[in-house]
Structure 1
Amino acid sequence: MPRFLAVYTMKPEDFARFRSLPKSEQDAIDAVGVKEWAAWEERNAAAILDRGGMVGKTTRITKDGVTDAANPFCGYLVIEAETAKAAALLFRDHPHITVFPGDGVDIMPFVT
């Protein structure tokens, strides 16, 4: 079955807005979101090959050297599905976009 990389994205300004909330509000959102995230993973366990994880700040390496960089990536996982659309539909109710301030999930097929 085809494998796909699912990359969680979040705009820096949305993350900053979330972190500017009072700690009690952040904790309340986290309490709901973590529970719903675990339920989502349980519902979709058969499709998840690698639970991946959340990621932090980016360091970019180019022919010119090493620098700090910015991108919207904040986490990933690896799934399998019949098609890219089927893979994408797994995320339509994901708490990354329904509870947390994530703006999307990018789905990319592995080609090698």
Structure 2
Amino acid sequence: MMALPIEQILNTVSDGLADSPVKQALCEGLGQCLNQQGENLSMLVEAKNNGELSAEEFQVELEREKQIAEAELLTQAIAGKVEVQKIVNEAFGLLVKMAL
């Protein structure tokens, strides 16, 4: 099975994010997704290179894997938002208690 250059992919994506405040979190999340999907992605690339998948079939399967990665990152973003809401609510709850 062919090993994917996940580190190279992450570096390229990371460079494109410039100085985004969420750059590290996004790259870590993407890295986790690619590592989890690594075997499937490697098998797809290998099948395409061996002629077992047409270009169209490869694109369909790649799109499916892309949607899985996006869903995973969005799930992480929602979980992060929940944590932010908890922290903000706690901070403002403490402010209210201090004011009373």
TM-score by length of 1: 0.36
More strand per residue: 1
Larger Rg: 1 or 2? Answer: 2
Q: Which has the higher contact order (CA 8 A, sep 6+)?
A: 1
More helix per residue: 2
TM-score by length of 2: 0.40
